[in-house]
Structure formats: C-alpha cells, structure tokens
C-alpha cells in the first residue's frame, strides 16, 4: 500500500502535470512555507496554514492530481484556533 504524499510547491502546475496527486500551493520558490515580507507573526501563520493544509491532504481521498489552495481551505479545523507559537 502506498504512502500518501503532500507536495508543497509554489509552481504547482508542474507537479500536477507530472503526476503528483496531492499538491499544495506554496508561497514562492525562494520561501515555500511562509513569506518573510509579512513580518514574523504573519509569516509564521501563513507557513502554518500551508503545512496544515498539506497535512489535511494526507487524510483526503483523491482520484487524480489535485490542487489544494491553503488560503481557500480550513485545514484541520478541530485544532485550537490559537496556534501555538513556534519553537525557535
């Protein structure tokens, strides 16, 4: 049995076209999981949204290459709304 893979990429069309089945839209090539221009708090929140979305896809059935847009999802909604500050 295969292992589901959530692939996070800012240039998501390439993985979709080459057969990756769970593709999550990343921010930008140079900083895929977050955006330093947003300042530390918002950068972290954005990155967290992306990673949560990616984890969510691992429990989502798909039939073909599918794009998941973190900003259009409410991933892992059962988690507490206050996101834990990240360890440094």
Partner 1 sequence: MRLELGTFNVREIAFGPRTHFAAGRLEVNKEEVLRAVFNDVRIVKADLEIARPGEPVRIWPMRDVIEPRIKVEGPGVCYPGICGRSIATVGQGRTHRLAGMGIVEVANVDWHGAGGDYVEDYLDMAGDFGQIYPMSRLQNLCLVVEAEPSLGNESQNYAVHQAALAVNDAIAATVRDQEPDTLEVFELTEVDPALPKVIYIQCVHSPQAMSGSRTAFCTATYGMTQLAPPWWLHPNEILDGALTGPYRTAFACSWTVANNPSLWEFYRRHGKDWNFLGTIVFRTEWTTQHEKELMANQAAKLARHLGAQGALVTWDAGGNEFIEVIRTVQACEQLGIKTVFMTTEDVAADGAPTLLMPLPEADAIVSCGFFRTEPVDYPKSPPQQRVIGNPQKVTGPLRDRFVPTAGELDAPPKVEDFYGFNSLSCTE
Partner 2 sequence: MADPLRVVHYINQFFGGQGGEEAAAAPVSLSEGPMGPGRALQQALGADGRVTHTLICGDNFFNERTDEALAAITAHLETARPQVVVAGPAFGSGRYGLACAQVCLAAQKLGIPAVTAMDAENPGALNHRTQVVMVPTGETAAGMAEALAGVARLALKLGRGETLGPASREGYLPQGRRVPFDRGRPGHLRALDMLLDKLHGRPFQTEVPVQMPDRVAPAPPIADLSRATIGLVTTGGLVRKGNPERAVSRMASRFHRHSVKELESLSGNDWEAFHAGYFNHIVNSNPNYILPLSFMRDLQRMGAIGDVFEWMYALPGVGTSVANSRVMGREIAQDLKAGGVDGALLVST
Q: Output the 3-class SS for 14-81.
A: HHHHCCCCEEEECCECCECCCCHHHCHHHHHHHHHHHHHHHHHHHCCCCCCCEEECHHHCCCCCCCCC
What residues between 47 and 86 interact with partner 2 by CB under 8 A? 47-48, 50-52, 54-55, 58-64, 76, 79-80, 83-84, 86
The reply to whether 11 sits near partner 1 by the rule CB under 8 A is: yes
Min separation Cβ 26 and partner 1, Å? 9
What residues between 43 and 82 interact with partner 1 by CB under 8 A? none
């Amino acid at each position: 049995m295969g292992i589901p893979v959530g692939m996070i990429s800012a240039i998501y069309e390439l993985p979709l076209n080459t057969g990756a089945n769970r593709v999550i839209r990343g921010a930008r090539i140079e900083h895929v999981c977050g955006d330093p221009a947003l300042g530390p708090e918002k950068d972290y929140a954005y990155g967290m949204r992306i990673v949560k979305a990616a984890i969510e896809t691992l429990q989502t059935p798909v039939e073909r290459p599918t794009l998941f847009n973190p900003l259009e999802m409410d991933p892992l909604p059962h988690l507490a709304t206050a996101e834990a500050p990240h360890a440094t």
